Amino acid sequence: MLYHLLPQFSDLHIIFNVFNYLTFRSAGAVVTSLILAFVAGPAVIRRLRDMRVGQVVRSEGPETHLSKAGTPTMGGSLIVFSAALSTLLWAELTNWYVGLALLALVWMGAIGFMDDYLKVVRRQAEGLVARYKMIGQLSFGLALGLFLVLHPVSPIPSTWTMVPFFDGWVAAFWPPAYVVFVSLVVSGTSNAVNLSDGLDGLAAGLGAIALLTFAVFAYLIGRVDTSAYLGLLYLPGSGELAVFASALAGGAVGFLWFNSHPAEVFMGDTGSLAIGGALAVLAILLKAEFLLLIVGAVFVAEALSVMLQVGWFKYTRIRTGEGRRLLLMAPLHHHFEKAGWEESKVVVRFWILGVLFALLAFSTLKVR
């Protein structure tokens, strides 16, 4: 909004020109969403307490988590609200990239909200039935893939995606396969972030790290000079995604103020599915889906830990008649808790891994 309103007053004072600069607006988006989360946080938490929207704790989980029962959840609505409002304030609203990213944030957040609502308000233990949740995720991915194939938002073929570490290399998909690929990226990423939301501050911190990383990549890919120098695909207009990613990162950090150990509120599926869906769409629009595997490596490990645990349990039950576990408990963060690590130590160490993988992703810019 500010991008469309204020630069026209540059004749009155040169300071209004700063609203044309992507870096300035990205910084403004971070600060705005951060302040919105800070200011609205206490009121949102009080409202959730009044509604008795309390977290349900798994009985088989670590004993230290039993005290968290009843802590307000659905706090992810604070992240979605602050990020969306900040993006509307600072981004170029006629930009297709921004519109699609905002749609993903709201759509996935709505699916998570429905799941949380059924679990903690309507007291339906299973929440939104898994197949319906998956249908919502896959249908959005299929619709996005079809839209990008039929209505490209960049001069680069929609079915191309960059290959990390290799200058000028792209993976070119057959259009129907690309649509399926996009759908799998959306559903897989949103569920991976959702699985990581099990410790105070874990998903919010990792999400902020990944989002800021993609904000930098969006800025570089959206500039003709830096993209050419670094061997990246040049996508005109994609730089506006830096504003969106920064706004969402600011909302996640603002939420982290209340979600850090001991948490006053949990994000629930409302926040985790929204962040995961937004990360997926950022990677898809920037043609950096394979880079997402590096930036979000901790999320990938969390998802794989669950898949391997379930797969091994079923396999051993068929072969021996008794199911066995690879890990003490899945997802991966609970395994380390069961092994004796303090919750805060698991969270900080996973954050460190998140930063290291982000740095590895940046290294792909020169190792090409």
321-340: per-residue pLDDT in tens?
888 999 999 999 999 999 99
Return d(Cα 344, Cα 62) in angstroms, integer. 14
Rounded Cα gap, residues 65 and 57, in angstroms: 7
pLDDT at 351 over 90: yes
pTM: 0.94
CA–CA separation, 288 and 231 (whole Å): 13
Q: CA–CA separation, 115 vs 346, rounded Å?
A: 27
DSSP state of 122: S
Q: Band the pLDDT of 302: cuts 50, 70, 90.
A: very high
Answer yes or no: are the C-beta atoms of 267 and 79 closer than 8 Å. Answer: yes
The sign one gets for the Cα dihedral 311, 317, 320, 326 is positive
Instruction: Retrieve residue 58's tokens.
Output: 């798994």
Q: Which pLDDT score, from 0 to 100, does residue 57 have?
A: 62
Hey, CA dihedral for 174, 176, 182, 187, is it positive or negative? negative
Residues 6+ apart with CB under 8 A from 84: 102, 105, 106, 247
Percent of the chain with pLDDT over 90: 75
The residue extents of the domains of the chain are 2-163+174-288
| Separation CA 37–CA 31 (nearest Å) | 10
pLDDT digits (tens, 9 = 90+) for 162-214: 999 888 789 999 999 999 999 999 999 999 999 999 899 999 999 999 999 99
Q: What's the rounded mean pLDDT across residues 98-125?
A: 85
Cα separation, 53 vs 331, whole angstroms: 24
- Give the long-range contacts of residues 54-63, CB within 8 A, separation 24 or more: 54/120, 55/120, 55/266, 55/268, 56/119, 56/120, 56/125, 60/329, 61/329, 61/334, 62/329, 62/334, 62/337, 62/338, 62/343
Rounded distance, CA 268 to CA 291, Å? 26
